[in-house]
Amino acid sequence: MRLWLRSTQEAVGLDGDVVPREALACVLELDAAAAQVHARCAQTLADAQARAQALIDDAQQQAAAILNDARDKAERSARLGYAAGLRRQLDAWNERGVRHAFAAEDAAQRARERLAGIVAHACAQVLHGHDPAALYARAAQALDGALDEAKGLRVSVHPDALDDARRAFEAA
C-alpha cells in the first residue's frame, strides 16, 4: 500500500503495507517541514518578484524622467539655437544694409565731387577771356531758376572772384 500525503511530485509518502506509528509521525513532520520549505520558497520567490517589479518600475520611471529632461533640453536648445541663428542673421543683414547705405552714400558723394570738378573745369574754360561780371550775372539768373526747383544749393567760387560773385548774386 502507498500512502501519499500530498498530490505533488515532491510529496512525502510511505511505501508499505503496515505503517508504524513512529514512521507516520516522522513522515508527518517531514511533510510539515517540506510544506514550510515550499511556503518559504514561494514567499521568497514572491518577495523577489515584487522587489524586481518595484526595481523595474522605478527604473522605468527614472528612464521616463531622463527622457523627458532630454526632450525638454533638446527643445530648449532648438529654440535657443533658432533664436540665436535668427539674431545672427538679422545682425548680418542689418550690417550689410548699413554697409551698402554707406557705400552708396560714399559713391554718390564721389560722383557729386567728380561732377563738380567736371563742371568747374568746363566753366573755367568757358569763362576764360570773358567779362566776369556778365558771366556771374548770367549764372545768378540761371541759379535763381534752379533754386526755385532745388531743395538746397551749394555754390563754390574761386577766392579771388568771391567779391564779384557776391555782388552778382546780390544784384540778382
Q: How many CB atoms lie within 10 A of CB 136?
A: 22
Each residue's pLDDT tens digit, 100-139: 989 998 998 888 888 888 888 887 777 677 777 777 777 7
Residue 68 or residue 31, greater confidence: 68
Rounded Cα–Cα distance for residues 137 and 50 (Å)? 113
Could you report the per-residue pLDDT of 26-64, keeping only the tens digit for each?
878 888 888 899 899 999 999 999 999 999 999 999 999
CB 147 within 8 A of CB 153: yes
| Model pLDDT for residues 133-165, shown as the tens digit of each residue | 777 777 777 777 776 776 655 677 888 888 888
Distance CA 136, CA 127 (A): 10
pLDDT at site 167: 84
The rounded distance, in Å, linking the Cα atoms of 1 and 14 is 8
Above pLDDT 70, what percent of the chain? Answer: 82
Q: How many residues does the chain have?
A: 172
pLDDT category at 5 given cuts 50, 70, 90 is: low
